[in-house]
Amino acid sequence: MDVAIIGSKRSGKLFLKGMIHTKEFGVFCALLLLIIIMSIASPYFLGTHNIFNVLRNMSTIGIMSIGVTMIIITGGIDLSVGSLLAVSGMVTARMMYFGVNPLIAFIGGLLMGTVLGAINGLIITRIKVNPFITTLGMLSIGRGLTFLLATGIRGSVASNIGMKNPTINFLGGGYIGVVPFPVIEMFILVILFTYFLKYTVLGRQVYATGSNMEAARLSGVRVKNVQLFVYTLTGTLCGLAGIMSGGLIETAATNAGTGTELDVIAAVVIGGTSLSGGEGTIVGAIIGAAIMAILKNAFVLLHLPAFVQTIAIGVVIILAVATDTMRNKNHK
Amino acid sequence: MKMGKNLILVMLALLLSTGSLLANGQQEMKKDLKPGPSFTSALSPEDEGVVKPVNMKWEGESPLRIAVLGLENNPFWIPVKEGALKAAEELAQYNCQVDWIVPAGDSHHASVFGNAIEIAMAQQYDAIATIAGDSGIVTYINKAVEAGIPVATFNSETESENKRLFFVGADLYKQGEAAGQAMADVLGGKGKVGIITGYFSVEALELRRLGFEDFLAANYPDIEIVDRVENQDKADIAYGQAQDFMTANPDLGGIYVTAGGPFGAATAVEDAGKVGVVKVVAYDFVEETMEAVQKGIITGTIGQGPFAQGHDPAVRLFNYIVGGVVPPAGRLLTRSDFVTIENIDQFWSK
C-alpha cells in the first residue's frame, strides 16, 4: 500500500492521516504482523509458490466476499453463497456432460447463480421476508438443486460430475507465469468493484441504503433496486467461484461450498464491514480473507494441531470486531 | 339417522380391533426371537454380498417390512442402494418388503438417524438396518430392540456396546492398519506422511486414522506423521491442504486421505509434478478416485464392500426373523480390497 504523494505536501499528509484512521488500516497492520511472524517462523512461508498457493486458496472466498460485502453494507446478509457456488458449478458440469459448448456451459452456470441471487433479492425486497430467513431457505434450496442436478448420471444417487475442459480447468487451476489465474481474476474483480463502490452513483447508493434506508429512500434512492442489485451480483460472483472451484479439481462436487458462507462472512467482518450496515470496503474483506487463509497455511507449515487452528480463527474474528468496537468508542 | 350412526360406530370399532389384533398378531409371530451373537464377535463371512434368503415365506397377512436407512449425497452410496434394492427384489417373493429410506437432513449424525429410527418404529417396521455414525444413536437402537424390532447396523458402527443384532461393514481400525502397511510398503519403510481426515468428530474416521498412526508408530518408526488436517470430505479443500503439505515438507513421501475428496489431493500432487514422488492412499471406489488410481496418481484405494452393506443386513434380518437363523457373529466384516493400478481392471472399468 504505497502512498503516492500527489499534489502538495500538506494534502499528502492529510491523505496519509486519513488512511491511518480507516478500519482497513488496522486490519492491514494485523495482516502485516501475521506475515512478519510467519516469515520468521517458517522458511517456506515467503516462497513464491507458497504465497501464490495461499492467494489461490483464498480466491474463491475472496470473489464471493466482494458481493457479500456489498450486501452487508446495505444491512442485509447472505447465507446461501455456498449453495449458489455448488449449484452453479453443477450446472456447468451437467451442460458439458451433455456435450454443450464449454463457453455456453460457463454462461449457463453464471446464469444459474445470477437467477438464484435475483430470487433472493426479489423475495427480500418485494415480499419483504428478512434476508437471514430468505437466504437460509435458499441455502437448502440451492443444495437440494445441486443434488438433483447430480442424479441420473449414475443411477438415482447424487454423484459428482466431471469438469474436464482446458478452458474451464484453466479458470480454476491455470497459471500465467507463476501467478495462478484465479488470483488474477480475484484482483481484477476487486479493483473493478472497489472503483464501483467508491466512484459510481449506484455504488454510493449502496452505502446510503445501508446507512439509513428510509432517509435514502426519501432522497430518491431506489433502495429496493439497490438491494436487488447486490443480491443478484453476489449470485453471479458465486457462480464464477463455483465454476473456478470445480475447474480446479476437474469435478463439480455435490458437497462443494458447504459451510463456506461462514468463512465469507468472517472475512467481510474481519475486514471492517459492520454487520449493522452503512460501512465497509471490499479491500477490507480481501484482507480478512487473506488473514484467514494465512492462518490455515500457517498451521500446516508450523505443524500445529488442527483443533488449535479452528479455535484460532474464531479468536481472530472476535478480536477483529472487538478492536473495531473499541476504536469506535475512542473516536466518539 | 340414529341407526346409520350406530352402524358406522360399530363398523369403526370392528375395524380398529381387527387392526390391532393383526398388529399384535404380527408381534406375536416375532416374539420367539433367538438371542443374538455377542457384540464384539467378528468374522468375515464367505457369503458376503450374496447372502441368500431362507426358503420360507413370511406367514403374516401383510408383508414383513424392513427399513434400510442410508444416505444418497455422494457416489459412495450408489452400490449400497443397489444392494438394498437387490435385497428387496430377492425378498419380495417371500412376502417381505424392503424399503430404502434416506432421512431428510442429509447428514450422518445421530440426531438425523435416531429420528429416522423413531419414525420407522412409528410406521411399525418389523426390522431396521441403519448406519451408526456416532454414539448418540445408541439410545435409539436400544429403544427399537426393546420394542421387539431387531436392528442391524452397517457401514459405520459405534464403539459403545448396544443392542444391535449385527454389523455389516469394514473393521475401520483394521482398515487403517492395512493402509499403514500399504503406505509403509510404497515408502520403503521411511519417509514423511501427511494425513487428511474427513472429520475429526466422526468415530469411524478416527478409527481409520488411529489404526494407521498406531500401526506405523509400532512397526515403522522411521515413518513420520508430519501433519493432520480435516477436509470435511471436500475435494477442493483437500487440494489446498495437499499443496500446503508439500510446501511445508519438500521431501514429503505420502498423503493418507481417510474419507471423501481424495481426488482433490491427487490433483494437487499431479499439478505439483510429484506423481510417484508423493504417494496417495485413499478409500472407496468412486469414479474420480478410480480414475486417479488408473493414472497412477493415487497409489491405492481401500474398498469396504458397499454392495454387501446395502444387501446383507436386510436378508440376514429376514432370515433371523423368519428362519431363526442367528447371524454367525456380531461383526460381519466386509472385505477391504486394496485396489492399485495393477489389479484395477478386476474392480472397475471406465
- Is the CB of residue B180 less than 8 Å from the CB of residue B216? yes
Q: Is the pLDDT of residue A43 over 80?
A: yes
| A contact set with B (CB within 8 A) | 42, 44, 47, 49-50, 53, 56-57, 60, 143, 147, 151, 154-160, 162, 173, 245, 248-251, 253-256, 258-259, 296-297, 299-301, 303, 305-307
Is the pLDDT at A25 greater than 90? The verdict is no
SS (H, E, C) chain A: CCCCCCCCHHHHHHHHHHHHCCHHHHHHHHHHHHHHHHHHHCCCCCCHHHHHHHHHHHHHHHHHHHHHHHHHHCCCCCCCHHHHHHHHHHHHHHHHHCCCCHHHHHHHHHHHHHHHHHHHHHHHHCCCCCHHHHHHHHHHHHHHHHHHHHCCCCCCCCCCEECCCHHHHHHHHCEECCEEHHHHHHHHHHHHHHHHHHHCHHHHHHHHHHHCHHHHHHCCCCHHHHHHHHHHHHHHHHHHHHHHHHHHHCEECCCCCCCHHHHHHHHHHHCCCCCCCCCCCHHHHHHHHHHHHHHHHHHHHCCCCHHHHHHHHHHHHHHHHHHHHHHHHHHC
Residue A79: phi and psi, rounded to 5, are -95, -5
Taking CB atoms and an 8 Å cutoff, what residues of chain A touch B310? Answer: none
Closest CA to A241 of A87, A53, A131: A87
Instruction: Name every chain B residue with its beta carbon within 8 A of the beta carbon of A300.
Output: 194, 227, 229, 241, 244-245, 247-248
Q: For residue range B267-303, what is the model confidence (pLDDT) as tens digits? A: 999 999 999 999 999 999 888 999 999 999 999 999 9
Residue ranges and CATH numbers for the domains of chain B are 34-169+306-334 (3.40.50.2300), 172-302 (3.40.50.2300)
Q: Do A44 and B286 touch (CB under 8 A)?
A: no
- Predicted ipTM beyond 0.85: no
Amino acid at A285: A
How does residue A172 score in pLDDT terms, banded at 50, 70 and 90?
A: very high
C-alpha pair distances (Å), B238 with each of A33, B230, B263, B317: 27, 8, 8, 39
Phi and psi torsions of B154, nearest 5°: -150, 160
User: Which of B244, B249, B270, B286 to mutate to test binding with chain A, by most A CBs within 10 Å of its CB?
Assistant: B244
- The pLDDT value recorded for residue A256 is 92
Contacts of B236 in chain A (CB under 8 A): 60, 245, 248-249, 253, 256
- Measured CB to CB, residues of chain B less than 8 Å from chain A are 72-75, 77-78, 81-82, 106, 194, 200, 226-230, 232-236, 239-241, 243-245, 247-248, 250, 260-261, 263-264, 267, 271, 286-288
Which cell goes with B249?
515438507
pLDDT at residue B331 tops 50: yes
What is the share, in percent, of chain B residues with pLDDT greater than 70? 94
CA–chain centroid gap for B20, Å, is: 35
Is the per-residue pLDDT at A158 higher than 90? no
Using alpha carbons, select from B172, B153, B175, B174 the residue that is nearest to residue B162.
Answer: B153
Give pLDDT tens digits for B47-97.
999 999 999 999 888 999 999 999 987 778 889 999 999 999 999 999 999
How confident is the model over A1-12, as pLDDT tens digits? 444 444 455 555
Is A309's pLDDT higher than 90? no
Q: What mean pLDDT comes out for the span A110-132?
A: 97
Residue A141 reports pLDDT greater than 90 = yes
Contact A255 B245 (CB under 8 A): no
Which chain B residues are closer than 8 Å to A292 by Cβ?
A: none
What is the structure's pLDDT at B29? 52
Q: What is the pLDDT of residues B25-38, one digit of tens each?
A: 455 455 578 889 99
C-alpha A84/C-alpha B39 separation (Å) is 45
Q: How far is A77 from chain B (nearest CA, A)?
A: 23
Q: CA nearest B276: which of B245, B257, B252?
A: B252
What interhelical angle do A166-173 and A102-125 show, nearest 10? 60
pLDDT at A325: 73
Nearest CA in chain A to B73: A158
Give the model's pLDDT for residue B25: 47
Q: Which residues contact B56 (CB under 8 A, 6 or more apart)?
A: B94, B322, B323
Mean residue pLDDT across chain A? 89
Smallest CA-to-CA distance from B81 within B289, B309, B331, B233 is with B309
Across the interface, of A53, A151, A256, the residue whose CB is closest to B236 is: A256
Mean pLDDT along residues A165-189: 94
Q: Which residues have CB under 8 Å from A84's CB, separation 6+?
A: A113, A116, A117, A138, A142, A234, A235, A238, A239, A242, A257
Confidence of residue A310 (pLDDT cuts 50, 70, 90): confident
Residues of B in contact with A50 (CB under 8 A): 247
| pLDDT tens sequence across A76-113 | 999 999 999 999 999 999 999 999 999 999 999 999 99
Res A125 pLDDT > 90: yes
Given this model, what pLDDT does residue A9 score? 55
Rounded to a whole number, what is the distance in angstroms from the first to the last CA of chain B? 72
The helix (run of H) or strand (run of E) holding residue B79 is: helix B77-92
pLDDT for B121-154, tens place per residue?
A: 999 999 999 998 778 899 999 999 999 999 999 9
Check pLDDT > 60 for residue A161: yes
- Specify the pLDDT at position A157: 78
d(CA B94, CA B55): 8
pLDDT above 90 for B202:
no
Whether the pLDDT of residue A203 is over 70: the answer is: yes
How far is A252 from A244, CA to CA, in rounded Å? 10
Q: How far apart are CA A89 and CA A83, in angstroms?
A: 10
The distance in angstroms from the start CA to the end CA of chain A is 27
Rounded to whole angstroms, the Cα distance separating A74 from A275 reads 9
Q: What pLDDT does residue A308 have?
A: 83
- Whole-number pLDDT of residue A307: 77
